[in-house]
Amino acid sequence: MHIDRTERTYMIIAGALIAVFFGLVVVSSLAYGIQVPAPEARVDPQTVATPGNSPWGDPIDERVRELAPGQYEAFILAQTWVFLPNVIEVPVGSTVTFQVTSKDVQHGFNLSGTNINMMIIPGQVSKLTATFNEPGEYAFICNEYCGIGHQTMFGRLIVTDEG
Ligand code: CUA
């Protein structure tokens, strides 16, 4: 098959660029610990927030649990237009596994200062983990447009000084 020289050149350039971009993805995932949110579990969005049905149905102040010293899990429910809970407090050095689901429409969960950025899909649990070695406030926001109150959908993680 005859391939024009110019066309061949552009094919080689395009192939090389794809290889470079793929390499960058590999390097960034290894060097920066990029995580892909796993579809951790399936839930029924109609009943997920019903008390007794799931951790997202528990009282709001019981949805952040210490599993072991410095190891926490946080069950966050996304709904129009709030995160519940929307204030989370852990001591510095903690590792927190976020398990987020939605009971209505698609939302987002982006936690500043970390590489946590998940799509929150009704019926599905999105799960990612981060360790907080710096005290301070970390904002989390909904970054998927979810309706008229989208911009009010945010919360904060407070990492306190006492370890
Ligand atoms: Cu929820 Cu935007």
| Domain total of the chain | 2
pTM for this predicted structure: 0.81
Domain check: are 145 and 74 in the same one?
A: yes
What's the rounded mean pLDDT across residues 83-88? Answer: 95
> 101 alpha carbon to ligand 1 midpoint, in Å?
12
Domain check: are 50 and 14 in the same one?
A: no
% helix, strand, coil for the chain, step of 5: 20, 40, 35
- Which residues, including other chains, have CB under 8 Å from residue 3's CB and lie 6 or more apart? 11
pLDDT for the residue numbered 132:
95
Domain check: are 130 and 144 in the same one?
A: yes
Domain check: are 20 and 51 in the same one?
A: no
What is the extent of the structural domain holding 17? 1-34
Q: Which residues line ligand 1 (CB under 6 A)?
A: 81, 107, 142, 144-146, 150, 153
Domain check: are 58 and 26 in the same one?
A: no
pLDDT for the residue numbered 28:
82
pLDDT tens profile 112-138 = 989 899 999 999 999 999 999 999 999
pLDDT at 163 over 70: no
Domain check: are 65 and 125 in the same one?
A: yes
Ligand 1 atom 1, closest CA = 107
Q: Which of 75, 140, 79, 82 is nearest to 105 (CA)?
A: 79
Q: Tell me which of 33-42, 75-84, 100-109, 116-125 is least confident.
A: 33-42
> 70 alpha carbon to ligand 1 midpoint, in Å?
30
| Residue 62: CATH number of its domain | 2.60.40.420
Element containing residue 57 per DSSP (H, E): none
> 162 alpha carbon to ligand 1 midpoint, in Å?
33
> 9 alpha carbon to ligand 1 midpoint, in Å?
45
In ligand 1, the atom with minimum distance to the C-alpha of 80 is 1
